[in-house]
Every structure is written in structure tokens, then in C-alpha cells.
Amino acid sequence: MKSRAFMFALVLLCTGTGLAYGQEQLSLQEAIATALKNNYDIKLVNNDIQIAKNNVNPGNAGMLPSLDGSFSDGGSRQNITRTQSNGNQQTLDGVRNTNMSYGASLGWTIFDGLQMFTNYERLKELQKQGEVNAKATILTTVSNVISSYFTVLKEQQLVRARDTALDISQLRLRIADNKLAIGRGSKLDVLAAKVDYNTDTAAYLQEINLLKTAKTALNQVMARDLNLDFKVDEAIDIDSKLNYGTLAGQMEQLNPDLQNAFISKKIAELNLKQVKGQRYPVVGVNGGYEFQKSASPTGFNTQQRATGFTYGLTASLNIFNGFLQRQNERNAKIEINSSALMLDKTKQDITAQLISTYQNYSTNLDLLKVEQNNVDIAKQNLDITLEKYRLGSISPLELREAQKNSIDAITRYLEAQYQAKLTEISLKEISGTLNIQ
């Protein structure tokens, strides 16, 4: 008969998973904190927020003046032949002309139909939209971390359940061997016990592999070394007091997808306001200072120097542009209508998601109570059956059936617990109340 030590060696060989005496104990809060610090999606969306924040300034909206400086310095060297009115010719070689100037110019649009102020408001809304998108990314990441964490917990508990089932199968095999040795058992019972023991060993190995896969997935969500091994806390706290009405109200105020749709509608309205502003004149002022210095030995004046200021007022008005103004306003109104429709659609989709998730949540809580009761009953049945088997009053087949009922009940209970937690997480994510700490 295979020893238990040999079975563990087989686990190590097949899965590459050690007992890891120095295994990290990972809490849910630590997993969330690690993901918030390392997750690539969060880092990317934080960069987008910073860009949107930088864009919110009066200069980017066109509210501030522009000031430009200029400088030029040039010249020429020429050979010149001149014929005077009396027929005499004059030849000049290497005549050098120079020209240098510098100056500054200022331009400032002081009125553009209030487009600059509308644009500034649009930039603020884009910043809000970036922050809402960041919130959505963070909520999704935290939801994924929690889901992955409890997947590891479920598999961790299933490994322990399979381990217990393997203990029972090993005990049954030992008893069958002992009975055969003293002439009170049959070879058939030993072979059947070996088959069941091997079956349970295979199930145990498969569960170990599922646990390892779940740990890799959690490491990936946390954006850390995928090969890090760890254990998760055994406690699982399911919030069974969630109320649909409260969740629906929170969803209206906090759901990032709804907030995004509201902001998109506001941006569309600002776009129409900006387009209408193009009907008004654009008024600007300008001014400048310039210095010029030139030298031309062959000219009437051999040197010239000039300094001075310039100033002015400009105004322009679009009188006719091929009906593009009217077309742009119509399109902007259509965009407002589309954004309103998208807002209604988003609200309906999220409400439907909330309703179905809450229904699943309620059902999962009921199933959890039923499966908890089944686990208790199956455990009592297994304890009684195992004792009777030791006394020889029942057949191996009855023990195997009780053993199978027990592991099935535990599996269903852990799955019900897992699904109840997942629906709780989904409800809090939809309502925007998922704790990210």
C-alpha cells in the first residue's frame, strides 16, 4: 500500500507545489493594497487623469494672450558695377550689407462669443470624466482581486476536503488489507479500496493544480511575481443585509458608468454652446515692439536704425460659410439627443444588471443555508458510517457512498458560499459602494 509520504511526494512531483513552510499569509486588505499600488490598468488611467488635469487651464481654453519674440540677423557680400549718367563706371568689390532686427508681439482675443469660457468648462468636464473612468477601473480591479482571492480560498478549502477524503480511503484500504491478512476479507474488497484510493488521489492532485492556477491568477491581478506562493485567510464574511432599494439609490449617485453618461451629455451641451458662439464676432487686440538696424555702404544712407511700437484692434465676423454654421448646430443638437439616449440606455442596462444580480444574491443566500445544513447532515452520516465500517457491520460500498455524499455536500457548500460572495461583490460594484481599502 502506498504510504502517505509517498503520496505527498507525488503531489510535489506532479504540481511543483511545495509545502512551503515559509509561505506568505496574505490578507484580503493586503491583496487589495498591492493591486492598487501595482496594477497596470490603474497606473495607465492615473496617467490619463494627470493629462486631463494638466489640460484644465485658461491658456488651453484660449483665455490668455500670446506673446512671441523674434530675432533675425543677416547680410550679404557683393561685387557691384555701376554706370553713372555721364557714362563713367564704378566697380566696388566685396561690398557688405547687414540687416539685424528683433522684437516682441502680443496678441489677445478678448471676445469670441464666449467660446473660450465654454471651452474651459468643457475641459473641467473632461477632467471629471477622467476621474470617473479611474474610479471604474479601480472598482473593477478591486472586484477582480476580491473574486480571485475567494477563488483561492475556495480551492484551498477543497484541497483540505479532498485531503480528508483521502485519509478515509487510506483507512479503508488499510482495514481491507488487514482483513485479508487474517482471512476475514476478500481480494475483491482490497482491489475496490485501491481503485477508490487512486481515484481520490487523482482528485486531490487535480484540486492542488486548481489551487495553484487560482494563486497565479491572483498574483496576476496584483501585478506581482506570478510564482509567489501564499495562503489566504480562512474567514469569509458575507454581507447578507444588502437591500435592493438602498442599492438602487446608491447606483443612481455613485455608479461610474452612469456618472460617465451624465458627463458625456453635459459635454455635448457645451459643444452646442461653443458652436453657437461662432455666430458672434471675434475681437482681438495686438501690440508689439521692434528694433531694426541695417548698413549698406553703397546706399543713399549708409546706416539706418529704427525702433518703435505697434498696436491695433482686430475684429472678424463670419457672415456666410456655405450654411456650415447651421449644419454644425444641427449636428450638435443631434449629439445631445444621442447622449441623452445613451444615458437612458446605460441606466436601463445597469438597473437590469442590478435586478438580476440581486435575485442571484438572494437565491445564493438561501442555497447557502440549505448546503450548510447538508454539510452537517453528511458529516454526521459519514461519522456513523465510518464507525460501523470499523466494526464490520456495513459493506465498503456503503462507506464509499457516505464518503462521496460528504465530499459532494462540502463542494456544493463551498460553491454556494463562493457564489454568494461573488454576487455581493457585484452588487457593491454596481452600486459604486465597493470598499477599496
C-alpha cell at 167: 485519509
Q: Report pLDDT digits (tens) over 356-406.
A: 999 999 999 999 999 999 999 999 999 999 999 888 888 899 999 999 999
Average pLDDT over residues 324-330: 95
Average pLDDT over residues 147-171: 95
Residue 42 pLDDT > 70: yes
Residue 193 pLDDT > 70: yes
- Residue ranges matching CATH 1.20.1600.10 in the chain: 4-16+41-56+112-281+317-431
Which carries the bigger pLDDT value, residue 84 or residue 228?
228
**Nearest residue to 232 (alpha-carbon basis) of 12, 35, 29:** 29
Q: What's the rounded Cα separation, in Å, for the pair 3 and 6?
A: 5
Residue 14 pLDDT > 70: no
pLDDT category of residue 15 using cuts at 50, 70 and 90: very low
Average pLDDT over residues 10-31: 62
Average pLDDT over residues 102-116: 94
- Centre a 10 Å sphere on the Cβ of residue 2 and count the other Cβ atoms it contains: 14
Q: What is the mean pLDDT of the chain?
A: 90
The CA-CA-CA angle for residues 37, 41, 45, to 5°, reads 95
Which carries the bigger pLDDT value, residue 294 or residue 153?
153
Position 306 scores a pLDDT of: 85
Question: Can you spell out the DSSP letters for 52-93?
Answer: HHHH-STTTTT-S-EEEEEEEEEEEEEEEEEE-TTS-EEEEE
C-alpha cell at 308: 518703435
8 A C-beta contact, residue 134 and residue 126: no
Residue 88 pLDDT > 90: no
Residue 245 pLDDT > 50: yes
- Which stretches of 84-153 are assigned E, i.e. beta strand? 89-111
Position 297 scores a pLDDT of: 65
Position 21 scores a pLDDT of: 47
Position 183 scores a pLDDT of: 86
Position 92 scores a pLDDT of: 66
Q: What is the largest CA-CA distance in the chain?
A: 150
Average pLDDT over residues 193-220: 96
C-alpha cell at 294: 541695417
- How far, CA to CA in Å, does 250 sit from each of 30, 148, 266? 27, 25, 21
SS (H, E, C) 356-388: HHHHHHHHHHHHHHHHHHHHHHHHHHHHHHHHH
Position 381 scores a pLDDT of: 95
pLDDT category of residue 184 using cuts at 50, 70 and 90: confident
Average pLDDT over residues 250-256: 96
DSSP 3-state of 110: strand
- Centre a 10 Å sphere on the Cβ of residue 330 and count the other Cβ atoms it contains: 13
At the topology level, CATH places domain 4-16+41-56+112-281+317-431 in: Outer membrane efflux proteins (OEP) (1.20.1600)
Whole-model pTM: value is 0.82
The residues, ordered by sequence, that sit 6+ positions from 138 with a Cβ below 8 Å of its Cβ are 36, 42, 45, 436
Position 435 scores a pLDDT of: 85
Q: Report pLDDT digits (tens) over 138-151.
A: 999 999 999 999 99
Residues belonging to the chain: 437
8 A C-beta contact, residue 357 and residue 423: yes
Q: What's the rounded Cα separation, in Å, for the pair 344 and 350?
A: 10
Residue 78 pLDDT > 50: yes
Q: Where are the alpha helices (DSSP H) in 277-323?
A: none
pLDDT category of residue 299 using cuts at 50, 70 and 90: low
Give the whole-number percent of the chain exceeding pLDDT 90.
Answer: 77
Beta strand 24-26 with 303-316: parallel, antiparallel or unpaired?
Answer: unpaired
**Nearest residue to 420 (alpha-carbon basis) of 374, 346, 369:** 369
**Nearest residue to 44 (alpha-carbon basis) of 179, 150, 137:** 137
Give the whole-number percent of the chain exceeding pLDDT 70.
Answer: 91
